Amino acid sequence: MPLTVAMPALSLLCVSKALLVIYEASCSPLSVLLNNIVRTWFIIFVVFLVTAAYGTAVMIHMFLWKNHDVFYAYTRSWARFVLKISRVQVVTVGTDEIRPEERYVYIANHASLFDIPVLIAAVPDNFRIIYKRELQKIPIFGWCIRMSPFIAIDRERSRDAVDVLDTVSQTMRQGSSVLIFPEGTRSDSGIVGEFRRGAFSLAARSGRSIIPISIVGTRNTLPKKTRHIQGGLVTIHVGSPITVPEVTTREAERNLMEHVRQIISNTVDSYL
């Protein structure tokens, strides 16, 4: 990494660690004197500041060098900081299934906003994420993801979704992995919902294998429609790659979709 890239990254890391030291030093008094709501807002405030700093640094480096490796280095560092200050401990199972030279379609269940930083920090692959286009309207964060290798989609326009599938399948043939939450939204109950076909059509078009990922514990860390960050243990189960033939029928895709959903659901349900 060039010195001009390394120095800002090192500065951000030092600031992040200093904030962590301050937070950890105050945890015992906070747990006695303050309630969970105040502690949660403290975490949100610190994460906001650090996200703004990381986002600004990423935009500058992406503008100057357009290096995706730089983006992923910053993003992984940011994700680990968010998990650390939120007191989220991540345990991974099965990451040896991921071969560094291969590219995959990762299929995961979705229960919390913490799913994304957890996967970025835990999965040893620079995957692309398909996100809602309206997120680009968020100051700094939205501008940053617009310059990132992540992929925007307008879920209200079916033609846009088809174009995105074509674009992603093409980039995957050129050497990119992609992460998809096929439920389309976060689960309220923690139970794995119904899957949509798009992820499986993408796997068939790209010729890449599917890796099912079961996320357990993020719902308790930050439940949907709340701002109560509780911390805790999160377990990531990485399944074995599933080969997908390039030429397949709709019925075969639906059967594959249900098979992958069952793998993820069985793992998640075993913890409920």
Q: Spell out the per-residue pLDDT of the chain, length 272, in tens.
A: 454 545 555 566 666 666 666 555 555 554 444 557 778 888 889 999 999 999 999 899 888 887 888 899 999 999 999 999 999 999 999 999 999 989 999 999 998 889 999 999 999 999 999 888 888 888 888 888 988 889 888 766 655 566 777 777 777 777 789 999 988 788 777 789 889 887 888 888 888 899 999 999 998 888 777 777 888 999 999 999 999 876 678 888 888 999 999 999 999 998 87
pLDDT at 241: 96
Are 176 and 130 within 8 A, CB to CB? no
For residue 20, the enclosing domain spans 3-269
Within 10 Å of residue 37's Cβ, how many Cβ atoms?
A: 10
Burial 148-166 (b: 16+ CB within 10 A, else e): bbbbbbeeeeeeeeeebbe
Length of the chain: 272
Separation CA 250–CA 130 (nearest Å): 22
Domain count, the chain: 1
Are 213 and 124 within 8 A, CB to CB? no
Nearest-Å Rg of the Cα atoms of the chain is 19
Separation CA 83–CA 89 (nearest Å): 7
Where residue 16 sits, what CATH number does that domain have? 3.40.1130
pLDDT at 178: 92
pLDDT at 118: 97
pLDDT at 250: 82
pLDDT at 24: 58
pLDDT at 239: 96
